[in-house]
Amino acid sequence: MKRSIRTKVLTQEPGLYISILFPITVAFLLTFVGARVFSRTLPDFYILWAGIHVHHFVYGFLVVMVSGYLALVFNGPRAKYWIALLHGLGLGLAFDEFGMWINLTEDDPARLSYNGLVMVLAIVGIIISAKKGVKMASNHWPFRHDRLP
């Protein structure tokens, strides 16, 4: 008999983290693709701080740090779901500029290969976690019709 995410969280049952992988992967993919589209359409839109171009992977690292802290502080099932989405968002921002981590330049000729690798890994993550993840998402989505007053 399959148990709900709530039971898995409260009893710390194994298998929870396969369920959590789905919202992380979905948020990662959406953020990754959104960041690619945004940076291609508006390449001159960025923050300058003390004359330095702050890339969006910096924001990604900050979001990952915040989600890590929140994961340590909050244990509820709904909190785990939303923190997983936040973590995926941070990973998407950070890994969008993965080629820059390797070369430390803005001109990366192998950019498409990095992007392709990350996209393939993300799709594999969704395939692995889809069944349990969709069930968890439907249980914790805030706008479900049966939860409205």
pLDDT in tens, 88-129: 999 888 888 777 776 666 665 456 556 766 776 888 777 777
Tens of pLDDT, residues 20-40 = 888 888 899 899 889 888 878
87 pLDDT above the threshold of 90 = yes
Rounded-to-integer distance, Cα 132 and Cα 111, Å: 33
The whole-model pTM stands at 0.67
Q: Give just the sign of the alpha carbon dihedral 71, 76, 77, 81.
A: negative
Residue 5 has pLDDT above 70, yes or no: no
Supply angle C-alpha 105, 110, 114, rounded to 5: 95
Q: Which residues pair with 47 in a beta bridge?
A: 54
Q: What is the mean pLDDT of the chain?
A: 77
Question: What letter would DSSP give residue 51?
Answer: T
Report which DSSP code applies to 34. Answer: H
Number of helical (H) and strand (E) elements in the chain, helices listed first = 6, 2
Kindly report the length of the chain: 149
Top mean pLDDT of 9-18, 80-89, 130-139 is at 80-89
DSSP state, residue 46: -
Give the up-direction half-sphere exposure of residue 44: CA atoms within 13 A in the CB hemisphere: 0
145 contacts: CB under 8 Å, gap ≥ 6: none
Place of tokens 């960025």: 46
